[in-house]
Amino acid sequence: MWELIKSGGWLMLPIVIASMLAVAIVLERAWALRSSRVAPQDLLARVWQWIRNNELNADKLKQLRANSPLGEILAAGLLNSKHGRDIMKESIEESASHVIHDMEKNLGLLGTIAVISPLLGLLGTVVGIIEAFMAVTSSGLNDPTMLAGGISKALITTAGGIVVAIPAMVMHRWFQRHIQDITVEMEQQAIKLVDIVHGDREVDFQERVTAEKPVAKKPAKASSKGTAA
């Protein structure tokens, strides 16, 4: 492998560096963008339990903010919930913009690598062909190894650029789609929180189905008071 890279000439160096950067970015983003880390499924149910049990305090909000990106968004909304529904939604949107920006970290560089890698390979092709023609011009066809060396360099750099560009482009598109899916999920969770805090809906978490049954009995309590009166 080293001999193959070496025979590609000096333009293989930036292609190799680009490949190492792409691998590092892919591994880092794959770890950072795990769904279980970004938007834990039971997080909103846990927050609702804190609210219902009057356990929501500064320490809980600090814990929520540090827990996950979704927790950071929910904490921003809860901190401003007393200012009304609109202010709460605005604070959630501002926090979400920051969170999404963090989730897209280094994806621009990955996309750039996917674009420039084949261009570097094309540049290597041009350089290799120029060297091949120069070899023919200087010595004619008496030394075919010089001509073969230029053509070999052209083919190796082209192949190297394409090999780097294809997986980089695939992973870049996959991460973009993954972030879109997570963003939709976080948006739904945030809307649920706003509706719950301001009394526009009952909690409908699957994890809390049993816990929500007493809530449905509130009207019965009211009627019993009326009977007693």
Q: What is the pLDDT along the chain (229 residues), one digit of tens a residue?
A: 666 666 667 778 889 999 999 999 999 999 999 988 998 888 888 888 888 888 888 888 888 888 889 999 999 888 888 888 888 888 999 999 999 999 999 999 999 999 999 999 888 888 878 777 777 776 665 666 666 666 777 788 888 899 999 999 999 999 999 999 999 999 998 888 888 887 655 555 444 433 444 444 444 443 333 433 3
Domain boundaries, the chain: 2-228
Contact (Cβ atoms closer than 8 angstroms) between residue 39 and residue 67: no
What lies within 8 Å, CB to CB, of 43 at 6+ separation is: 64, 67, 68, 70, 71, 74, 189
| The model's pTM | 0.75
CA distance 158 to 164: 10
